[in-house]
Amino acid sequence: MAEPLKNQFGIEIPQKIAAMIAGVTPTFATETFLNEVLDGYDDLNLMVRGWKIAEALHHHLPSNYEEAADVLIASLGPKLEETKQSGMAPFLYLPHVLFVAKYGLEYFEASMQAQYELTQRFTAELSIRPFLERYPEATLARLKTWTQDPSTHVRRLVSEGTRPRLPWAPRLREFQKNPYPVLELLELLKDDPELYVRRSVANNLNDIGKDHPLLLVEIAHRWLVNATDERRWLIRHALRSAVKRADPGAIAALGFSDGVTVSIGNVSITPQPAIIGNSLSIAFTITNTGSQPQRLLVDLRIHFVKSNGKTSPKVFKLKTVELAPRETIQLGKAISLADMTTRKHYPGSHLIEILLNGQTFPLGSFELIRTLPPSDAHILDNVEI
């Protein structure tokens, strides 16, 4: 079981923040600040801990927000130099962005400057969203200038902060309805030199496509004209959810034909029955029965049983293959049946399908149980799991 994130945001976080502020403002009431923060701190989750620190900062920094923001900026440590994952270290600044989001909404310029600095050390994707809602035109105009900023982190904020469906954040519902203001920014970033930014652009497009699938396909076709390899990767990443939904427009945009002539055989789904907590092995062959070569996008879809007895499909990416006429390829995948935070498993019959260029081909099913009865335990004796 993974360690809760809050354990990496312990009492050393407010202690370090207090020391950084005291370093630039010696009169900062460190002891009082920490007493307020640490009262009941152990019982709180990560985000609530961040909010509690932000509220304590509001109580102990200058009452004038602009002065308080100046103190916070002056206390910041060095900027992030790399764009790869830095673990939990940058989360030190989570309370800072929450402070800006809650207390800085009436102070546009001071808050924009604070977020410009903070996103180069952590991210301001959470705090920028209230400003997009309160001051859409002014915030979008500022973000447009930031698309040309030398800092990779600032440019990424433009695309990540405007995602309509950013995880762990309220949705930007106006941009869900009308994504065109966001698309104007993404146009300026689609060929950014940094993969870190281009991946964020792709994630934003992926979000937009969930509400506007036809628009996503239109953008994909347009951006693929004379596209570099980097932009082609961006489009593939942006279309990933649409492809999993077997959206024919998205699949066609990637160059796959909607008419496939194949046969599927040698199906193996083991063990039968499968046990929650173990794994499942799926194997099969695909044969091109046509007279022309075929390029195939192969995905696996399992209809997992939910707690209410209904099913919910989950798509697993397999492979892109090119088969000559009469050529056969063997494919397979091992599926974990262990419970995880994103998927719980329940007993019942689970259907399995193959998706070939978005077309559905039934593969079979497996029965999932909690445990084998003692009289049937021998079934697993010779099965590799």
Average model confidence (pLDDT) across the chain: 92
Cβ atoms 355, 242 nearer than 8 A:
no
pLDDT tens profile 8-60:
788 999 999 999 999 999 999 999 999 999 999 999 999 999 999 999 999 99
Segment 323-342 mean pLDDT? 93
pLDDT category at 300 given cuts 50, 70, 90 is very high
Cβ atoms 192, 200 nearer than 8 A:
no
Cβ atoms 238, 221 nearer than 8 A:
no
pLDDT category at 373 given cuts 50, 70, 90 is low
d(C-alpha 90, C-alpha 85), whole Å: 10
Let me know the angle formed at the C-alpha of 194 by 237 and 76, rounded to the nearest 5 degrees: 115
Q: In what order do the strands lie in the sheet with 262-270?
A: 262-270, 279-288, 328-336
pLDDT category at 385 given cuts 50, 70, 90 is very low
Residues across the chain = 385
Residue 380 clears pLDDT 80, i.e. is over it: no
Of 45, 57, 43, 187, nearest to 114 by C-alpha is 57
Packing angle of the helix pair 108-118, 94-103 (nearest 10 deg): 170
3-state secondary structure of 259: coil
Q: What is the DSSP letter of 368?
A: E
Residue 101 clears pLDDT 80, i.e. is over it: yes
Q: Is the dihedral of CA 334, 338, 340, 342 positive or negative?
A: positive
State the CATH class of domain 5-253: mainly alpha
d(C-alpha 385, C-alpha 383), whole Å: 6
Q: Output the six-digit token pair for 35.
A: 């007493």
Of 384, 380, 385, 347, nearest to 366 by C-alpha is 347
Cβ atoms 54, 95 nearer than 8 A:
yes
Segment 324-328 mean pLDDT? 95
Residue 1 clears pLDDT 60, i.e. is over it: no
Residue 196 clears pLDDT 60, i.e. is over it: yes
- Which residue ranges make up each domain of the chain? 5-253, 262-380
CATH topology of domain 262-380: Immunoglobulin-like (2.60.40)
d(C-alpha 86, C-alpha 322), whole Å: 39
What percent of the chain is modeled with pLDDT above 70? 94
Beta-sheet strands, E only, within 289-340: 294-305, 311-323, 328-336
